[in-house]
Amino acid sequence: MGVITNMRSQMQIVMWTILILFVTSMVIGGLVGGASITDIFGQRQGNEVGSINGKPILYEDFNQMVSNEINRLDAMSGKEISDEEREYVRAVVWERLLADLLVQEQIEKNNIKIGDEEVLFQLQNNPPAFLQNSEAFQTDGRFDFEKYLDAVLNPSTIDWRPVEQFMQDIYLPSYKLQQYITNSISISPEDIRKNYEERFVDYEIEVLHLTEESLDKNILVDGPSNDDLKKIYQENIDSYEMPEMRVMKYVKWPILSDSNDTLRVKLEADDLIFRINEGEDFAQLANTYTEDPSNSINPYSLKGGNLGWFDKGQMVPEFDLASFDAKKGDIVGPILTDFGYHIIKIEDKRTTDDGKNQVNASHILLTIKPGRGTENNLKDTASIFALEAEEYGFFNHADSLGMEIFESNGVEKESIFISDVGVARSAVNFAFRNNIGSISEPVKNDNFFLVFYLDQINNESVKSLDEVKEELTLKFTNDLTKKQIKSLAESFNLNTSSNFSDIANQNKNIEYVASVTSKLNGSFQSIGKSNYVVGALKNSKIGEVIGPIPTIRGEAFIRVLNIGLVNESDFEEKKQAIKESLIINRQNSMWSNWLQALREASDIEDYRYDFY
């Protein structure tokens, strides 16, 4: 134990950020697994989903990484993730893969090598996150350092060679590169004290706040001239460029459960009741089959379906009636409610001192969702519609069936969502691979089966002045309002002897706060939270008048009424933690900025939308 304690006390502060990436979601000896990053970063030819600095990223590799992550999330949640979540995973994997490949390129350029001794030291002293999160090294859901160290020092059941190779080839070189980039970070005692003062010292201030309400209401009566609008339009014309857009019409069939799904779930519930009556453990079956999310709030301590004690009228009527009519020990069900079918076990019953009847029950909830048969029927219906629409015409056929025809918003090639439809990448691909008048095959997402008709192709263009006139007028008005507020504020010549209250009384449209107290990292009444305010107050003195200072809504004058004293004993207690926090924040910021600069300087091609 002493050796372990000594090892842990010597652990340096490190940032294990690089390898919290999906490319490292591998399975090495049951812990980690997958494709090698050097393979992905190779010179192979084939289906390329993109490239970085002339080196291809193959569709097969990228798609496998996405699939691995989706499978991992499915396993964690116990259900399939949604279409929207799939698109998010795909985007995150792409961004993190680019970061990994850039890092790998820099490791090779800087000839970073890791020796065997360094691997062993890091494994013994700084186990990385993917090992700490492994169930093999956890006790009661927490990382068990002693169990882990025993496995490292006595490698009888785990083959550590793949882990060691991974640490040597990827993990530690990435960490060492990060240290090269960030080791110049330093934190001075002044930095620590200023951070403490910003977070823990109170500032009491008096405020005069000039906003749009402080202006003469007639100041913008004439609005901008045509010349004003043309000038703003030309200055911002790049922001009015429009990519190629496709517009579709479509019909849809909601994916809803039907009577067959209700019967199927009831039969499943009947089967579980039979198994319970045959002696199987209710709690174990509940942990396996229930779809009540409250059962697995803590995945390391499932509740066996237990709901605890509840009063009459607390549950939905059907569940409530069944529970209070039953006897202790009864298995009741299946009971149908709006949530699905419930199998209820009455654990206990009691009457409280105030005369209330209560039940302690457990349940298994089986929700009624559209089954494969329901979805197949809807798909067949959509397929027949698509075929007949080709023959009779999309609009004529939809009208003959009394179906409502919807219109999509304009979509770009990279679009993921369609208004009122949700995620529909396959529909976007259809739109950009076909001509006007084309009819799609059935498209499915989480909510619908759909058939699309390509209605319009709008080529790349620039919005005209007339199209953005309202937007330009608003911009002109906002800019002019800010200038007028600033000009009004500058007309006040305030000093330490100025009476804020008198000025506010003479100018009823100026907001006045006699006294407000907050920390610098907090928010002040009227003026809110502003870096300008924080910067001004950091170097202020009691009695000083500061301003005008820009705020979100205008310009403010501030009188410093009081500045709290630093609690020296509290500062001494917190300063080490503040120092460590500042170091980590600055290291992460420097690393992120370096990586972003590296990315901006790289030649990156993205062809994902040709595949998905």
The pLDDT tens digits for 554-580 are: 999 999 999 999 999 999 999 999 999
**Residues 390 and 439 sit within 8 Å (Cβ to Cβ):** yes
The residue among 98, 49, 90, 59 whose CA lies nearest residue 606 is: 49
pLDDT of residue 125: 87
Segment among 74-88, 280-294, 453-467 with least mean pLDDT:
74-88
Distance in angstroms (rounded) separating the CA atoms of residues 88 and 65? 14
pLDDT of residue 201: 94
Distances (CA, A) of 199 to 14, 192, 518, 520, 522: 25, 11, 10, 6, 8
Global pTM? 0.67
**Residues 602 and 596 sit within 8 Å (Cβ to Cβ):** no
Segment among 299-308, 481-490, 539-548 with least mean pLDDT:
299-308
CB atoms within 10 A of CB 551: 21
Strands in 245-254's sheet, in edge-to-edge order, are: 406-407, 245-254, 448-458, 443-444
Would you say residue 300 has pLDDT above 80? no
Range 277-281 average pLDDT: 93
Would you say residue 175 has pLDDT above 50? yes
∠ CA(110), CA(114), CA(116), 5° rounding? 165
Distance in angstroms (rounded) separating the CA atoms of residues 130 and 143? 11
**Helix, strand or coil for residue 359?**
strand
Would you say residue 23 has pLDDT above 90? no
Tokens matching residue 72: 């991992």
- Tens digit of each residue's pLDDT (9 = 90 or more) over 226-235: 888 898 889 8
pLDDT of residue 218: 66
- Residues facing 454 on adjacent strands: 248
Range 346-355 average pLDDT: 92
Range 58-76 average pLDDT: 87
pLDDT of residue 550: 94
Range 103-131 average pLDDT: 87
Would you say residue 589 has pLDDT above 80? yes
Distance in angstroms (rounded) separating the CA atoms of residues 463 and 465? 7
Radius of gyration over every alpha carbon of the chain, rounded to an integer in angstroms: 33
- Give me the torsion for CA of 479, 534, 203, 190, rounded to 10°: -170
Sign of CA dihedral 41, 42, 47, 53: positive
Instruction: Report residue 221's pLDDT band, with 50, 70 and 90 as the boundaries.
Output: low
Range 532-548 average pLDDT: 91
Would you say residue 46 has pLDDT above 60? no
- Tens digit of each residue's pLDDT (9 = 90 or more) over 430-471: 999 999 999 999 999 999 999 999 999 999 989 888 888 898
**Helix, strand or coil for residue 242?**
strand
Name the architecture of domain 244-255+372-459. Answer: Roll (3.10)
Please name the fold of domain 202-237+468-563.
Answer: Chitinase A; domain 3 (3.10.50)
Percent of the chain surpassing pLDDT 90: 52
Range 528-557 average pLDDT: 91
**Residues 510 and 502 sit within 8 Å (Cβ to Cβ):** no
pLDDT of residue 154: 80
State the chain's mean pLDDT as an integer: 86
The residue among 48, 55, 46 whose CA lies nearest residue 101 is: 55
pLDDT of residue 77: 72
Instruction: Report residue 275's pLDDT band, with 50, 70 and 90 as the boundaries.
Output: very high
Sequence-ordered alpha helix ranges (H) in 441-515: 469-490, 500-506
Fold equal for 244-255+372-459 and 259-366: yes
Tokens matching residue 337: 């409610």
Domain boundaries, the chain: 2-182, 202-237+468-563, 244-255+372-459, 259-366
pLDDT of residue 220: 53
- Give me the torsion for CA of 203, 208, 213, 216, rounded to 10°: -160
- Tens digit of each residue's pLDDT (9 = 90 or more) over 179-214: 888 887 889 999 999 999 999 999 999 999 999 999
Percent of the chain surpassing pLDDT 70: 91
Please name the fold of domain 259-366.
Answer: Chitinase A; domain 3 (3.10.50)
Instruction: Report residue 222's pLDDT band, with 50, 70 and 90 as the boundaries.
Output: low
- Give me the torsion for CA of 290, 294, 299, 303, rounded to 10°: -70
